Amino acid sequence: MSDRMQAPPRARTFVHPGPFGAVRIETLCASQGRHFRLALPSGASLHDGIVDALARVAVHNASMTLIDGDLDVMSFCLARADATKRVVAAYTKPHSVRGARFIFGNATLGKSPSGAPVVHCHAVFRMADGKVRGGHLLTEQCIVGAHPVTVVATSLDGFDLRISYDEETHMPLMRPKTEIQHA
The string of pLDDT tens digits covering residues 84-124 is 888 778 788 999 999 999 999 999 999 999 999 999 999 99
Angle (nearest 5°) at CA 85 between 83 and 90: 65
> For the ranges 16-25, 96-105, 132-141, 155-164, which has the lowest average pLDDT?
16-25
The larger pLDDT score, comparing residue 90 to residue 159, is at 159
- In this prediction, residues 56-76 reach a mean pLDDT of 95
Q: Examine the pLDDT at 74 and tell me if it is beyond 60.
A: yes
- DSSP three-state, residue 149: strand
Eight-class DSSP state of 146: S
Global pTM value: 0.85
Mean pLDDT estimate for the chain? 88
Distance CA 173, CA 15 (A): 16
Which pLDDT score is estimated for 175?
86
Amino acid, res. 149:
V
- The strand pair at 132-137 and 70-77 is best described as antiparallel
Eight-class DSSP state of 19: P
Phi-psi region of 47 (alpha: psi -120 to 50; beta: other; left: phi over 0): alpha
CA-based nearest residue to 105, from 72, 146, 151, 140: 151
- Per-residue pLDDT of 19-58, as tens digits, reads 777 776 778 788 888 999 999 999 999 999 999 999 999 9
Give percent of the chain with pLDDT exceeding 70.
Answer: 91
The larger pLDDT score, comparing residue 176 to residue 67, is at 67
CA-based nearest residue to 46, from 134, 105, 92, 95: 105
Q: What sections of 33-83 are H helices per DSSP? A: 46-55
CA-based nearest residue to 159, from 24, 32, 47: 32
**What residue ranges define each of the domains in the chain, with the CATH number in brackets?**
35-177 (3.30.1330.80)
Q: Examine the pLDDT at 170 and tell me if it is beyond 80.
A: no
Eight-class DSSP state of 45: B
Size of the chain in residues: 183
- In this prediction, residues 136-164 reach a mean pLDDT of 94
